[in-house]
Structure 1
Amino acid sequence: MSSGPPRRLAIDHDDYHAEHVGRTADGRQFFLTRPFDPGTHEGNDGQEFVALFLFDADGCFLEAKIDAFGPRETMDRAAAKAAYDGRLRELGDVTFTRIEIEPFAVERFGTTIGLIPRAPDDDDDRWWVTIEPGDYMAFTEPWDSGDYDT
């Protein structure tokens, strides 16, 4: 049985989905990532995004800067890479390191985007926090482990 959703969760820097997490020179925490809507709903072709999530030094959510690029099959990959690289550059001097941040959700482009808590389905299940859309990173207790499932 799980104790409930986290107030904060840790994400350790790695060479995969958490390649660009860390702190800016002024102490803010950041997470640059590529959420995606796989387009599994009727009439939905999906959507690829570049998302920069910013948090204060204590891990409180500040803002989300999100760019949309349309379905993976037809997106302009060069434009998506340029947006990703530009978001990283706009942070200035950064240190790639572990971050400890709060879950959050924002609505953009008709999609809920963020680190979203998911309640257990039953008493034997546990709380999860997943990156949405795309559910490509999933966190569970212990919330301070810094690890995630893909």
Structure 2
Amino acid sequence: MDQAPTRFRIVPDDYHVPYAGTAADGRKFFLSDELFSRDSSYVGLFLWKADGTFDEVKVDKVTRPAGLPPGQAASANADKLVAARLAELGKYVLEPIDVEPFTKEIDNITFGWEVSQYEGEYSIHIEPGDFIAYYEPWDGLGYDT
């Protein structure tokens, strides 16, 4: 592929992508409580307009679970916060979504889906934490962790 991808698919699963789909207002969403930087964990709600273009990010800093090795993703055990963010979506549907990659800086931390290239191969990985990476054909059916 000679050009960076402009769209990719996120498919909900039982591993790192439990919450992806369409909100009651038609926006596409991805919600994770596994986002992390060196010392912090985050619950992040990524939102795209109905056409898959970036809309907004809602981020909450939470306590990183004790004893978790640096560089390892894990649930932040923020079930009430996750439930509150899901409630904001109204009646949502978990389903594959086709969206554009984006990044946004919040408090000097990059959040979003970042496009990168290594040895001529493009990938799209989640930030912060880089624990999900999608590759061509961008169908969302498999990702590296």
**The TM-score by the shorter chain falls in which range?**
0.7 to 0.9
Distance 2:87 2:111 in 1: 22
Q: Structure 2 unaligned segments of length 5 or more: list them.
A: 68-75
Structure showing greater Rg = 1
Measure how far apart 1:13 and its partner are.
1.4
Moved over 2 A (4+): 70-74, 144-147
Measure how far apart 1:70 and its partner are.
4.0
Tell me the equivalent position of 1:84: 82
Q: Structure 1 unaligned segments of length 5 or more: list them.
A: 40-45
Tell me the equivalent position of 1:13: 12
Tell me the equivalent position of 2:29: 30
Asked whether the equivalents of residues 11 and 147 of structure 1 are also in contact (C-alpha less than 8 Å), the reply is no
Measure how far apart 1:26 and its partner are.
2.4
Is 1:111 aligned to 2:109, yes or no? yes
* Per-residue deviation, residues 43-101 of structure 1 (Å, max 9, x unmatched): xxx11000001111111010000001144329xx66x3221111011111011000011
Distance 1:145 1:13 in 2: 9
Tell me the equivalent position of 1:68: 61
TM-score for both structures, normalised by structure 2: 0.86
Aligned length: 136
Distance 1:137 1:22 in 2: 17
Measure how far apart 1:149 and its partner are.
1.5
Amino acid at match of 1:50: V
Distance 1:107 1:146 in 2: 28
Amino acid at match of 1:139: Y
**Aligned-pair Cα RMSD in Å:** 1.7
Judging by fraction of residues, say which structure has more strand: 2
Distance 1:108 1:25 in 2: 26
Measure how far apart 1:115 and its partner are.
0.3
Provide the identity percentage. Answer: 39
Alignment counterpart, residue 48 of structure 1, candidates 26, 41, 52:
41
